[in-house]
């Protein structure tokens, strides 16, 4: 009988009554959850209109060749490497350019992240906790980005692959593990420049392990050197892109300026997710698990584990180090934003969702009746995602598009806010698209000109985009419609409100992003 088989028998013998049934129940609930999650993700991916960042990625992927895509990125079309856009270009050439096709890589990457966390947790704990960790990985912070045509989930999946290869690598690291770490982290950098910080996280993990175990593993360090060298190859493109980004980050109210509030908000999303119904459950888990750490014998955790007591301590060390360092990823991104990039956003630190799910699994494993707690949370997740799936099946209507459809006749429809212009230009049917016009106001101060700058950067890349200055436009169009997002950075709307040239309100719409208005404008000569 093998040692590993003997350990499994030992764990089963110590398991609380019914825990094996709880494990089978957890697997069934995870399968149900995965089906509901996949259905919801596919439906939302197919019907939800693209938002601005997705529009930029999709437009970039539509250039005729990889060389043209590279040229567009180098001239400000996007602030990430062209790898993801080339991937979308090839994918849409094979499967068509529907919203579902363009968002499918992110959704599949999310499922891959869940599977990776399942394996990482299952290597140490009973299957019920692995199932819970997989579900939490998917539903806490990843879902909103899993249904976007953006590279963030692919980057997170690269981190998950690197963690799988690093975990349990032992003193003599297999060559395939080192190669997988090097390839995964290099690919992550090729998808997004912020992914360079993931190499730093892995280096921190290896350094902590070295301090704790006194085991020097040269192959891991060589593997970590490869993505650093690959980053050097991207430096010329990074410098070129930064010239375009400098005008955004210096604005007085730049939306992604690093702040303590943004950092705390990111951790809130990572720890609690979008489902408020799970908030009480998670608070209970944290409190009960911390109490159990001090007042409940450790035999409960040993019973939850999949190894004999005290066996293979390095495996627990790897798990603890990986959990702590991935949970700390937002702090790493925040520090980099303060010192270098001047930009902080939750999406740059999504890899922390892996560590958060692993942390919850370990906390639940410390609780008396932990397998049943895991099943209860999985059942709650299934109910919540059943509700999500039902909502996702309803037809999706874009309120901004419905609003501009009320602009009768053939007068131009002016949009002064960049985000809404880009979204409407992609979403509107041809008869409305030809009427859209983006107006800029050179010299007019804006609290955050990021979106307006993005439209202006696209002007030389797409000659068909109707972009002009306010003075030039009103000289030829005394009457027109004005779409307003009621945001302070919409300097065009502010101008016409100040001049009193808005002659009437055609309608308004309320969406998740706020309230929008459609005005009729008549310019006084």
Mean pLDDT value of segment 388-402? 79
Q: What is the pLDDT of residues 208-225, one digit of tens each?
A: 999 998 889 999 999 999
Evaluate if residue 273 carries a pLDDT over 80.
Answer: no
Read off the pLDDT band of 254 (50, 70, 90). confident
Fold of 399-522: Rossmann fold (3.40.50)
Evaluate if residue 498 carries a pLDDT over 70.
Answer: yes
Burial class of residue 286, CB neighbours in 10 A (0-12, 13-18, 19+): middle
Question: What's the pLDDT score for residue 93?
Answer: 93
Question: What's the pLDDT score for residue 180?
Answer: 97
Question: What's the pLDDT score for residue 8?
Answer: 45
Phi-psi category of residue 170: left, alpha or beta, with phi > 0 → left and psi -120 to 50 → alpha: left
What tokens were used for 525?
């000569």
Question: What's the pLDDT score for residue 11?
Answer: 43
Comparing 288 with 381, the larger pLDDT belongs to 381
- State pTM to two decimals: 0.89
Domain ranges for the chain, please list them: 20-49+98-239+257-392, 399-522
* Average pLDDT taken over every residue of the chain: 85
Q: In what order do the strands lie in the sheet with 502-511?
A: 467-469, 436-440, 413-415, 479-484, 514-522, 502-511
Contact 247, 453 (CB under 8 A): yes
In percent, how much of the chain has pLDDT > 90?
A: 49
- The number of C-alpha atoms within 13 Å of 479 and in the hemisphere containing its C-beta is 7
What tokens were used for 50?
């693209």
Q: What is the pLDDT of residues 425-475, one digit of tens each?
A: 999 999 999 999 998 877 666 667 788 888 888 989 998 898 988 889 988
Q: What is the pLDDT of residues 49-97, one digit of tens each?
A: 899 999 999 999 999 999 999 999 999 899 899 999 999 999 999 999 8
């Amino acid at each position: 009988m093998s040692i590993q088989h003997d350990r499994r028998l030992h764990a089963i013998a110590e398991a609380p009554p019914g825990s094996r049934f709880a494990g089978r129940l957890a697997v069934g609930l995870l399968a149900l959850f995965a089906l509901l999650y996949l259905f919801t993700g596919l439906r939302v991916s197919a019907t939800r209109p693209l938002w601005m960042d997705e529009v930029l990625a999709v437009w970039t992927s539509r250039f005729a060749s990889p060389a043209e895509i590279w040229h567009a990125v180098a001239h400000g079309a996007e602030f990430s490497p062209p790898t993801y856009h080339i991937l979308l270009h090839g994918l849409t050439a094979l499967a068509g350019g529907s919203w579902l096709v363009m968002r499918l890589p992110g959704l599949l990457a999310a499922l891959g992240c869940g599977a990776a966390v399942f394996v990482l947790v299952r290597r140490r704990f009973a299957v019920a906790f692995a199932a819970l960790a997989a579900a939490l990985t998917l539903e806490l912070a990843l879902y909103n980005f899993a249904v976007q045509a953006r590279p963030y989930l692919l980057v997170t999946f690269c981190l998950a692959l690197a963690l799988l290869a690093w975990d349990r690598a032992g003193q003599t690291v297999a060559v395939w593990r080192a190669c997988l770490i090097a390839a995964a982290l290099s690919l992550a950098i090729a998808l997004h420049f912020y992914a360079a910080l993931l190499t730093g996280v892995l280096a921190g993990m290896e350094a902590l392990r070295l301090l704790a175990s006194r085991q020097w593993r040269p192959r891991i360090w060589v593997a970590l050197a490869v993505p650093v060298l690959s980053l050097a190859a991207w430096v010329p493109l990074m410098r070129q892109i930064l010239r375009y980004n400098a005008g955004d980050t210096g604005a007085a109210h730049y939306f992604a300026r690093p702040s303590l509030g943004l950092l705390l908000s990111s951790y809130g999303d990572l720890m609690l997710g979008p489902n408020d119904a799970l908030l009480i459950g998670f608070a209970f888990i944290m409190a009960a698990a911390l109490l159990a750490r001090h007042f409940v014998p450790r035999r409960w955790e040993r019973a939850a584990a999949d190894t004999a007591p005290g066996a293979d301590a390095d495996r627990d060390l790897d798990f603890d180090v990986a959990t702590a360092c991935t949970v700390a990823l937002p702090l790493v991104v925040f520090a980099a934003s303060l010192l270098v990039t001047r930009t902080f956003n939750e999406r740059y630190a999504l890899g922390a969702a892996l560590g958060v799910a692993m942390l919850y699994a370990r906390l639940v494993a410390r609780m008396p009746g932990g397998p049943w707690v895991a099943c209860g949370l999985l059942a709650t997740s299934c109910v919540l995602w059943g509700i999500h799936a039902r909502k996702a099946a309803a037809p999706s209507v874009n309120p901004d598009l419905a609003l501009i459809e009320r602009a009768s006749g053939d007068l131009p429809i002016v949009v002064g806010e960049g985000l809404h212009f880009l979204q409407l230009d992609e979403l509107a049917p041809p008869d409305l698209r030809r009427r859209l016009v983006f107006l800029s106001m050179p010299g007019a101060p804006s609290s955050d000109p990021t979106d307006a700058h993005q439209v202006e950067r696209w002007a030389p890349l797409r000659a068909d985009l109707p972009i002009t200055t306010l003075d030039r436009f009103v000289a030829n169009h005394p009457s027109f419609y004005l779409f307003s997002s009621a945001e302070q950075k919409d300097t065009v709307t502010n101008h016409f409100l100040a001049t009193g040239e808005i002659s009437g309100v055609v309608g308004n719409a309320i969406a998740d992003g706020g309230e929008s208005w459609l005005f009729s404008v008549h310019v006084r000569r």
